Structure 1
Amino acid sequence: MNRVVHPIEQESFRRLRARLDTSHFPPLTRAVVERVIHSAADLEYATDLVMNEDDLVTAHAALHAGAPVVVDVEMVASGITRRGTVCRLRDAVSGPGLTRSAHAVRLAHEEVGPGAVWVIGCAPTALEELLTLDASPALVIGLPVGFVGAAESKAALRASGLPAVSNVSEKGGSAVAAAALNALLYHTVSSEETS
């Protein structure tokens, strides 16, 4: 089923591309960069985001083959428009040395096992917990926001060697994390990309 793009969205992307040349990015990287910038109206994401095209190609295939999508909070889930998600935050509890978000990641991991796409846009502790698990993810979109632990958790994600989309700065959030995932869901691979 083809996605119908509203004229306002078309105009927004036209204006984005008039202000920022994204043509040098590989196809999926470009899709993620543009969709994240579109979600935040923040051109700095073009140089702040960190990802690898090969990881995105693998994740794109996994998503379109039905890999589960796990999110840290319902706000991220609400922004993902073409796929059901797993969010265990309502079932989680906090305890000594464990935030609710971290516990929710543990619960979700028990539910979905390896090969999921993880989308973390709120809690640095959720991302930190994911890095302690043997999750074998198809991709981790790690874009938590905040002044405490966000940049550090994203640096740890990049250092882990897991396939990932992250950014260097403290910014991020539910909307940009959902946008990065939506970019992969919306993107159709052209014949030039597969040859």
Structure 2
Amino acid sequence: MNRVVHPIEQESFRRLRARLDTSHFPPLTRAVVERVVHSSADLDYADELVMDEAELAKAHVALHAGAPVVADVEMVAAGITRRATVCRLKDAQAGPGLTRSAHAMRLAYEEVGPGALWVIGCAPTALEELLTLDASPALVIGLPVGFVGAAESKAALRESGLPAVSNVSEKGGSAVAAAALNALLYHPTSSEETL
């Protein structure tokens, strides 16, 4: 199903591409970079996002084959269009040494099991907890924001060897995390490209 792109979005991407050359990126990386920059109006993301095209390609296949999508907070879930998500934050409880966001990751993993796409845009503790689970993710979009733990949790994600999208600063947030997932949702599958 082809997505209808609003003229304002078309013009926004035209202006983005006039200010930022993304032509050297491979297709899925380019899609993620452009969608994240578009969602934030922050051109610096083009230099600080970290991802691997082969990992994105596998995640793209998994996503379009129906792999579950888990969001750390409702704001991330609300930003993901055209796809249902699992967000267990409302059911989570903080405990000794465990934030609500971390507990929500445990609850989500119990629900979806291995092979999901995890989209974390708010809580560094959610990303830290995910790294302790045997989640075997199709992809982790780890873009939590903040001055406490965000950059460190993203560095730990990169060091984990899990397939991931992250960045190398404290910047991030719900909008950019959802945008990265939407880039993969909106990117055509090989069968759609032939239509």
Shift of 1:101: 0.2
Q: Determine helix, strand or coil for the equivalent of 1:132.
A: coil
Aligned residue type for 2:153: S
The answer for the alignment partner of 1:57 in structure 2 is 57
Q: Determine helix, strand or coil for the equivalent of 1:119.
A: strand
- Equivalent pairs, count: 193
Indicate if the aligned counterparts of 2:92 and 2:103 stay in contact, CA closer than 8 A: yes
Is 1:156 aligned to residue 156 of structure 2?
Answer: yes
The answer for the alignment partner of 1:145 in structure 2 is 145
For residues 78 and 22 of structure 2, what CA distance do their matches in structure 1 show? 27
The answer for the alignment partner of 2:45 in structure 1 is 45
Q: Determine helix, strand or coil for the equivalent of 1:111.
A: helix
Structure 1 unaligned runs (5+)?
A: none
Aligned residue type for 1:142: G
For residues 91 and 68 of structure 2, what CA distance do their matches in structure 1 show? 18
User: Which string of whole-angstrom CA distances, capped at 9 and with x for unpartnered residues, describes residues 107-126 of structure 1?
Assistant: 00000000000000000000
Shift of 1:164: 0.1
For residues 48 and 39 of structure 1, what CA distance do their matches in structure 2 show? 15
The answer for the alignment partner of 1:111 in structure 2 is 111
Is 1:188 aligned to residue 188 of structure 2?
Answer: yes
**TM-score, structure 1 length as denominator?**
0.97
Shift of 1:190: 5.4
Indicate if the aligned counterparts of 2:64 and 2:189 stay in contact, CA closer than 8 A: no
Aligned residue type for 1:124: P
For residues 50 and 183 of structure 2, what CA distance do their matches in structure 1 show? 15
User: How well do the aligned residues superpose, as a CA RMSD in angstroms?
Assistant: 1.3
Indicate if the aligned counterparts of 2:122 and 2:143 stay in contact, CA closer than 8 A: yes
Distance 1:190 1:62, change over 3 A: closer
Q: Determine helix, strand or coil for the equivalent of 1:31.
A: helix
The answer for the alignment partner of 2:68 in structure 1 is 68
Sequence identity (%): 88
Structure 2 unaligned runs (5+)?
A: none
Shift of 1:189: 4.0
For residues 117 and 173 of structure 1, what CA distance do their matches in structure 2 show? 17
Is 1:97 aligned to residue 60 of structure 2?
Answer: no
For residues 113 and 152 of structure 1, what CA distance do their matches in structure 2 show? 26
Q: Determine helix, strand or coil for the equivalent of 1:90.
A: helix
The answer for the alignment partner of 1:80 in structure 2 is 80
**TM-score, structure 2 length as denominator?**
0.97
For residues 74 and 45 of structure 2, what CA distance do their matches in structure 1 show? 23
Aligned residue type for 2:171: K
